[in-house]
Structure 1
Amino acid sequence: MRELRGTGVSAGIAIGPVKVLEEARQAVRRTVDDPRAEIDRFRQAQQVSMDQLAKLREDTAARLGEDKAELFDTHRLMLKDPDYVEGVEGLIQSDKVNAEYAVDATAQRFAAMFAGMDSPYMQARAADVQDVSRRLIDNLGSGAQAGQDGRPAIVMASDLAPSQTAQMDPTQVLGFATSQGSANSHTAILARTMGLPAVIGLGQDPRPEDQGLTAIVDGSQGLVLIDPDQKTLESYKIRQREFRERVQLLQELKGKPTKTKEGQEVHLYANIGRPSDLDAVEANDAEGIGLFRSEFLYLESEDFPTEESQFQAYKEVAQRMGGKPVIIRTLDIGADKQVGYFGLEHEANPALGYRAIRICLTRPEVFKVQLRAILRASAFGNISIMLPMITSTKEVDQARAIIDQVMEELRGRGEDFKEDIQVGIMVETPASVVMAPELARKVDFFSIGTNDLTQYTLACDRQNPNLGQFADPHSPAVLRMIRMAVDAAHQAGIWCGICGELGADRDLTATFLDYGLDELSVSPASVLPVREAIRAR
C-alpha cells in the first residue's frame, strides 16, 4: 500500500480502479527490423481508435447533444486523412522507426502547420491532431487505453485543464487525485459541482504502473491510498457507507426554508457549468442558479458556439428551473481557461491579462452572439445577466450599451425577451470593491467571486500549489473586502451574494449571516449542508 497526502478539496470517499491521465509526451524513437509489421501495428491501433471515437460520439450525442458530438467526427476524419496516414507509414518505411515515434513526429509536423495558419479555426486544429495522435500512441501500447473498459474510475493526473474536465463523462468518474492544483483550481470546482471526492497537491505525479490498481480517495482527510491492504479497504468501505448515510440524512432538509432560528432568510442557489448539472441541482433542492458558468459551453466546443446552440442551453436551464432565478455569467475565457479558436496570444501573467469582460468589450461580435442567446432565453424563465471581472463604471456603461444594442436588434427581429432583465456584476477585484458605491448605482445586484477576490487581494496565484499557506480566504483582508461590498450594495438598495467557493465554507456561515448577505450560491452538493448550518444558527 502506498500513501499519498495532499489537500482535500471535495469531501467524501471514493474506492475504485485508477485511471491515469498522462500528460502529452514525446514518444521514444526505436529502430525496427520489420517496417511492414510496424505498419500493421499502426493500422490496428488506428482501427481501435476509430471504434473508440465512434462510441464516444454516440455517448456524447445522447448526453450532450449532436453539436457536442461533432468533435469526434472531426477526430475520426483526421485518423483517416490520407496525408496524415501517409506521413506516419512513410516515416516507418523510410526511416525504419517504431510506430509510436512515427505518429508523434507526424503529429508535431501537422500541429505546427495548423498553428502557423492565420485562421483561429485552423489554429485550433493543432490541438485536435495532438489529441488524435495521443489516442493512437495509447493504443499502440501494451495495455488498453485508460478508461475504455467501461468501469467508472478514480482519475489521477498531474493536473487537469478546464477543457479536459469539461468533456469528462460524470458517470465514469468516481473521484479525482492530482499532484498539482489548488483548492480553487477548476479540478476542485468540478469535483465539488459533481459531488465527487477529490484530493489535490499530492506532490507526486501518478505512476503508469498504478493504472487499474484499486485506490481510495479520502476527500475529507486529503489522503490517497494506492493498492490498499484488505483491512484498510474494509475500514474505508465502512466509512464510505457512513458518509453516504450522512448525506442521506441531509435529504430531510429538502423543501425546508433556508432561515435562521431568529428568522433571517438567505437565498441558497447552486453553481453550474452546463445543463446536465441540473440533475444535481434538483436533487439537492437549490432555490435557483446563482452562477451559470457559460464559458463551459465554449470549452466544450471546437469552434465558437452558435447563437442557436447557446440559446437552447440557456432555455433548457430556464425552463427546468421553472421560474426560479437563473443568473448567467457572460463568458469568462482567458487566464487558466484557454480556448484555442479564440486565438489568444500567450501572456506572461494571464490572470492579470486579456480575459472575461475585457475580451467581450473588445470583441463585441462574440459578445453579441451570447447576449442574443441569453436575452432570447429570458422569455422562457427568470434569467439575469452577470458581468465578470468588472473594475470600473466605464466597463459597466460599455457593456450596458452593447446589451441595449442587442435588445434593439431583437426587437427588429420580432424576438421576445425580458425587457426588464436584471444586470449585475461579479465583485472579484479590489478595484470593484473600492468602486462598489458607484458601481452599485449602475447595476441590479452584486455577486462576490471569492476565488479571484482572494487571489487579487492577497497577490497569490490561485493555481499555484506552493502558495496554499499564503492564499488564506479567511484572511481579515478578504473578509473586510466582502463586508465592504455588502455594505455598499445595501446602501444603494440592491442585493449582494457570494458565488465563489467560500460561500460553502460553513466555518464562515455565521460571519456571512452577520454581514447580511442576501444570497449564497454553492456547488449543488453543498446546498443541503449549508442549509443545515444556516438553520442551526
Structure 2
Amino acid sequence: MLAAAAARSILTQLHELMASRMHAQGKLNQVVDIIGEALHSEVCSIYLLREGMLELYATRGLNQSAVHVTRMGVGEGLTGTIARNVETLNLAHAAAHPEFQYREETGEEKFHSFAGVPIVRRERAIGVLTVQHLDPRRYEDVEIEALQTVAMVLAEMIQNAGLVDDEDMDGQSVAHSGQELLTGLTLVKGLARGQAVFHQPRITIEQTVAEDIEAERQRVYLAFDKMREQIEHMSNQAEFGVDGEHEQVIETYKMFAYDEGWSRRINEAIDSGLTAEAAIERVQQRTRMRMREIDDPLLADRMHDLEDLANRLLRIVSGQLGTAASLGLHGDAILIAKNLGPAELLEYDRRRLKGVILEEGSPTAHVVIVARAMGVPVLGRVRNARALIREGDDVLLDATRATLVVRPLSDAIEAFDMRFARSQERQAEYAKMRDVEPITRDGQRIQVMMNAGLRDDTPMLSLTGADGIGLFRTEFQFLVSAALPARDRQMRLYRDVLEAAGDKPVIFRTVDIGGDKSLPYLRNETSREDENPAMGWRALRLALEREALLKVQARALIEAAGGRTLNVMFPMVSEPWEFDAVRQVFETQLTFLKGQKRKLPEAIRYGVMMEVPALAEMLDHLLPKLSFMSIGTNDLTQFLFAADRSNPKLAERYDWLSPAIFRFLQRIVETSRDYPIDLGVCGEMGGRRLEALALIGLGIRRLSITPAAVGPIKELVCKIDTQEIGEAMRGWLAYPPANMRETLQRWAEERNIDVD
C-alpha cells in the first residue's frame, strides 16, 4: 500500500471520528484500532505527556489494565527516547536497543518489532504513537510515513481535547527543556530579561485534515508562485544579507524554491489527506528530524535555509504575514529574528521590548544604530537561535558579555538578578549626575553631549542633563522611510528637535547614506556594489553628486532653524574643496530663502567630521573656515588600521587604546589649538570611561556619546585632574608602553578612578 493511500484511509476515518461527539478517551481508543487495522499491526498505543511523564493513554494489543498506569519519564525507555529526541524509531528487535525497558504490566514481552513516532505540537513532542508486531521485522518506510502523518492529526485532536497540560503543550518539559548558554557578537551592550518572542511568529495550524484535496493543492501552487516572486525580488534588495553573503543565500533560496523534490513531497502529503498548511509542516518536521542527524555544518546550514523558506511558504499559504509588532507585545520581550531592518524595530513598543537576538547582524547594520539610540541591547551572530530558542522561553540576555541563557535555572537567574541590580544601582547613581556640571578637579569644564537620530530621543536631554546634542544623525529619517523624505517632513523633524532642545545646542550632521547604509529607493546610488562599502560611494561623496537631495536638506535645515543658531556638520570630508562645495550649497539656499522673505537662522556654524585620515594633512587650509570639528572615532579607527569594523575577525583585533591612534589624535589636537574652533570627539570611544579618560588627557574638551553613557562620563570627569592625566599621556606617547590599556587602567586604579 502506498504511503499516501495508507494515510488517506486512516485520515478519512479519523476525520469522521474527530467530528463526532464522543469523549476524548473514547476517540483515542478508536484511533488505536483504526491505525492497528490499517497497518495490520497487533499493537498500537498512544502515550501522552502529562505532568512531565509519558502516560499510556490508549492501546490496542497491550493489557488494558496498564492504561493510565504505565508511566515513564522523557528519555526513559524507547518511548521516552522518541519524546526526548523528537525522532522516529523503527526496530526489528526492540529488546536489543540499549534504551529498551520492559514493563511487566503491559504484557508486551511477546512482541518483537517496534516502531514509534513523536506526536509534535509547536516543534515539541507532546506524546508518542507506537506500533508493535509479534514477528521481528522493520516497518516499511511507507508505514512509518503514514504513522508520522497520523501523529500530526493526533496533535490537533489532543490539543482541542485538552488532554495535555498547558505547560506540556508549551513544551517546557520536553525537547529543549534544559538550560542552554548561547554566545554571539555584542552589537549593543546591555542587560535584559524577558520572554522570547519571534519577530515572525510561528504559524499554528488549526486544521490538518483536508476537505478538498484539489483545492489544497491549488493553494500550495499559488503560494509557491508568490514565494518565488519574493525570492526574485530579494535578488534586487540592497539590504539583504551581510558582507556579500547575500548572493550565496539567495542562490540557495532559489535552489530550494524551484526544487521539484520539495514541492513533490508537499504534494504527496496533500494526497494523504492533509491541508496545505499541514502538508508543509509535515515536510518541515521530516526536515527537522534529518537536521538532527547531520554532522556536516555546511549541509546543516543549507537545511536551515530550507527551514526559513518553508516558514515563508507557510506564512503565505496561511495568510498570516504579520510580525510580532503588529500583533503587539504582552510583556517584557526579547525579540528573536534572523535579521531586522530599522523600520521594523521601530514598530515595537519600547516599554516592553527589552532586547534583541539576531542570527545575523553586524556592528554597522542600520538596526544596530537605531537599537543603540533606543537603548535596546542587541546580540548578533547567535547561531541557530530560532532553532534553540522557543516562543515564550525565559531568556537572560547579557549583550555586554556576548552571552544569553535560555530557560535559566534558579542559580543563573539569581546571578543575573544580582548583576542587573548592581547595574541598576549604578544607573541610579549616574542619574543623580543629571544636574551636576562636569567639571574636573582642576576646574576644567568638559562638554558632555549626547548623540541622537530620532524625534523620540530628545527627552533624554533633560533626563541625562547632557549639554546638548553633539550629533543628530539625520539619515535615520531616511533609513526608516519607504521613500525619500519630503522637504516639509524633514523641516518638521528638525524644528521639533530644536524646540525640544531649547537653549541647548544641536549639531545636525547632513545625511550619511550609501556604502553600508543603502536605501532601496536610491538603489543605484546606495546599493552595496562596493567591495569595501565603508570607503565607498557614501556620505558627502554621494550627496554632492545627488545635489537635489542635498539642496532639499539644506533648505529644510535653514528653515527649521529660523531665529536660532544652526550648527551643521558634514560627514566624510576628505579634502577642503569638498567642504567648500557643500557649504556653497547651503549659502545658495540661504540666499534663495532670504529672497523669499523667510525667517532665517541668526547664524550658521559650519563643521566637519574628522574621520578620513587624509584630511588631517590639510587642516591648516580647512580650520580657518570652520566653527567646530568632531572627530568621528568609529570610522577614523578602521581607516587608520585598514580594518573593516563590521568584520568579526577584526572587531577585537585593534584596540582603540593604541599609541598609533592617540598619536594621530594628539596631532589633530595640537594643530587645532592655533584656531578658534570647538574640537570634540563623537563616537563610541568617548562613551567608554577608560577611553574618555585618555581623550581628556589628550586635550579633548567636548564628548558626544550615547545617552546611556552621559551619567557615567560626567561622574568620571569630576574625578579627573586634566593636568595630571595630560602629563601622563604625553609621557606614554613619547615612550609607548607595551600595553597602553593596562597602563591606563593601573594609573586610574592607583587614583581610585573606576574605569570599568
Q: What's the TM-score, normalizing by structure 1?
A: 0.78
The answer on whether the counterparts of 1:269 and 1:287 sit within 8 Å (CA) in structure 2 is yes
Rounded Cα–Cα distance in structure 2 between residues aligned with 1:300 and 1:248: 32
Distance 1:263 1:435, change over 3 A: same
CA displacement at 1:309 relative to structure 2: 0.5
Rounded Cα–Cα distance in structure 2 between residues aligned with 1:143 and 1:438: 56
Selected match of 1:103 from 201, 226, 237: 226
Rounded Cα–Cα distance in structure 2 between residues aligned with 1:365 and 1:399: 12
Q: Which residue of 2 aligns with 1:375?
A: 558
Q: Please show how residues 164-179 of structure 1 align to structure 2 within 5 Å.
A: 164-165=344-345, 168-179=348-359
Q: Which residue of 1 aligns with 2:655?
A: 472
Residue type at the aligned position of 1:349:
N
The answer on whether the counterparts of 2:220 and 2:317 sit within 8 Å (CA) in structure 1 is no
Q: Which residue of 1 aligns with 2:195?
A: 17
Rounded Cα–Cα distance in structure 2 between residues aligned with 1:219 and 1:519: 28
Q: Which residue of 2 aligns with 1:315?
A: 495
Deviation larger for 216-225 or 328-337: 216-225
Q: Which residue of 2 aligns with 1:454?
A: 637
Q: Which residue of 1 aligns with 2:183?
A: 5
What SS is found at the alignment partner of 1:512?
helix
The answer on whether the counterparts of 1:167 and 1:300 sit within 8 Å (CA) in structure 2 is no
Q: Which residue of 1 aligns with 2:608?
A: 425
Distance 1:380 1:465, change over 3 A: farther
Q: Which residue of 2 aligns with 1:42?
A: none
> Does residue 218 in structure 1 map to residue 398 in structure 2?
yes
Q: Which residue of 2 aligns with 1:83?
A: none
Q: Which residue of 2 aligns with 1:359?
A: 542
Distance 1:443 1:232, change over 3 A: same
Distance 1:389 1:139, change over 3 A: farther
The answer on whether the counterparts of 1:166 and 1:299 sit within 8 Å (CA) in structure 2 is no
Residue type at the aligned position of 1:214:
D
CA displacement at 1:141 relative to structure 2: 8.7
Rounded Cα–Cα distance in structure 2 between residues aligned with 1:336 and 1:461: 11
Distance 1:427 1:110, change over 3 A: closer
CA displacement at 1:34 relative to structure 2: 4.0
> Does residue 258 in structure 1 map to residue 438 in structure 2?
yes
Q: Please show how residues 318-397 of structure 1 align to structure 2 within 5 Å.
A: 318-343=498-523, 344=525, 345=527, 346-379=529-562, 381-397=564-580
Q: Please show how residues 236-247 of structure 1 align to structure 2 within 5 Å.
A: 236-247=416-427
CA displacement at 1:282 relative to structure 2: 2.4
Distance 1:523 1:134, change over 3 A: farther
Question: Unpaired segments of 5 or more residues in structure 1?
Answer: 24-31, 39-91, 116-132
Q: Which residue of 1 aligns with 2:294?
A: none
CA displacement at 1:372 relative to structure 2: 0.5
Q: Please show how residues 400-411 of structure 1 align to structure 2 within 5 Å.
A: 400-411=583-594
What SS is found at the alignment partner of 1:315?
helix
Q: Deviations over 1:235-285 (max 9, x none)?
A: 323432332222112221111111111111111111011111112332112
What SS is found at the alignment partner of 1:217?
strand
Q: Which residue of 2 aligns with 1:58?
A: none
Selected match of 1:435 from 615, 618, 622: 618
CA displacement at 1:352 relative to structure 2: 1.8
Q: Which residue of 2 aligns with 1:482?
A: 665
Residue type at the aligned position of 2:424:
R
Deviation larger for 6-15 or 408-417: 6-15
RMSD between aligned alpha carbons? 3.0
Residue type at the aligned position of 2:579:
V
Q: Which residue of 2 aligns with 1:156?
A: 336
Distance 1:357 1:218, change over 3 A: same
Residue type at the aligned position of 1:281:
L
Residue type at the aligned position of 1:97:
V
Deviation larger for 310-319 or 276-285: 276-285
What SS is found at the alignment partner of 1:517?
coil
Selected match of 2:373 from 176, 193, 197: 193
CA displacement at 1:468 relative to structure 2: 1.8
Distance 1:262 1:114, change over 3 A: closer
Q: Which residue of 2 aligns with 1:68?
A: none
Residue type at the aligned position of 1:225:
V
Distance 1:342 1:35, change over 3 A: farther
Rounded Cα–Cα distance in structure 2 between residues aligned with 1:33 and 1:431: 71
What SS is found at the alignment partner of 1:15?
strand
Q: Which residue of 2 aligns with 1:232?
A: 412
Residue type at the aligned position of 1:518:
R
The answer on whether the counterparts of 1:18 and 1:153 sit within 8 Å (CA) in structure 2 is yes
Q: Deviations over 1:470-494 (max 9, x none)?
A: 2422222222222222222222221
What SS is found at the alignment partner of 1:521?
strand
The answer on whether the counterparts of 2:337 and 2:357 sit within 8 Å (CA) in structure 1 is yes
What SS is found at the alignment partner of 1:347?
coil
Identity of aligned residues (%): 31
The answer on whether the counterparts of 1:454 and 1:473 sit within 8 Å (CA) in structure 2 is yes
Q: What's the TM-score, normalizing by structure 2?
A: 0.56
Q: Which residue of 2 aligns with 1:512?
A: 695
Residue type at the aligned position of 2:656:
P
Distance 1:134 1:229, change over 3 A: same
Q: Which residue of 1 aligns with 2:452?
A: 272
Distance 1:150 1:397, change over 3 A: same
The answer on whether the counterparts of 1:163 and 1:337 sit within 8 Å (CA) in structure 2 is no
Distance 1:530 1:201, change over 3 A: farther
Residue type at the aligned position of 1:156:
I
Residue type at the aligned position of 1:322:
G
CA displacement at 1:168 relative to structure 2: 4.8
Rounded Cα–Cα distance in structure 2 between residues aligned with 1:183 and 1:483: 27
Q: Which residue of 1 aligns with 2:679?
A: 496
Distance 1:200 1:380, change over 3 A: farther
The answer on whether the counterparts of 1:35 and 1:97 sit within 8 Å (CA) in structure 2 is no
The answer on whether the counterparts of 1:429 and 1:456 sit within 8 Å (CA) in structure 2 is yes
Question: Unpaired segments of 5 or more residues in structure 2?
Answer: 1-178, 202-209, 239-310, 721-756
Rounded Cα–Cα distance in structure 2 between residues aligned with 1:143 and 1:309: 30
The answer on whether the counterparts of 2:564 and 2:603 sit within 8 Å (CA) in structure 1 is no
Q: Deviations over 1:347-377 (max 9, x none)?
A: 3322221111011111111100001011111
The answer on whether the counterparts of 2:563 and 2:599 sit within 8 Å (CA) in structure 1 is no
The answer on whether the counterparts of 1:446 and 1:489 sit within 8 Å (CA) in structure 2 is no
What SS is found at the alignment partner of 2:477?
helix
Rounded Cα–Cα distance in structure 2 between residues aligned with 1:358 and 1:6: 34
Rounded Cα–Cα distance in structure 1 between residues aligned with 2:702 and 2:425: 28
Bigger CA radius of gyration? 2
Distance 1:376 1:143, change over 3 A: closer
CA displacement at 1:291 relative to structure 2: 0.6
The answer on whether the counterparts of 1:17 and 1:214 sit within 8 Å (CA) in structure 2 is yes
CA displacement at 1:532 relative to structure 2: 0.6
Rounded Cα–Cα distance in structure 1 between residues aligned with 2:579 and 2:343: 29
CA displacement at 1:330 relative to structure 2: 0.2
What SS is found at the alignment partner of 2:689?
coil
What SS is found at the alignment partner of 2:419?
helix
Deviation larger for 344-353 or 269-278: 344-353
Deviation larger for 527-536 or 470-479: 470-479
The answer on whether the counterparts of 2:196 and 2:391 sit within 8 Å (CA) in structure 1 is yes
Rounded Cα–Cα distance in structure 1 between residues aligned with 2:226 and 2:508: 42
Deviation larger for 149-158 or 401-410: 149-158
Residue type at the aligned position of 2:591:
E
What SS is found at the alignment partner of 2:465?
coil
Residue type at the aligned position of 1:150:
L
Whose RCO is larger (CA < 8 A, sep 6+)? 1
CA displacement at 1:136 relative to structure 2: 8.2
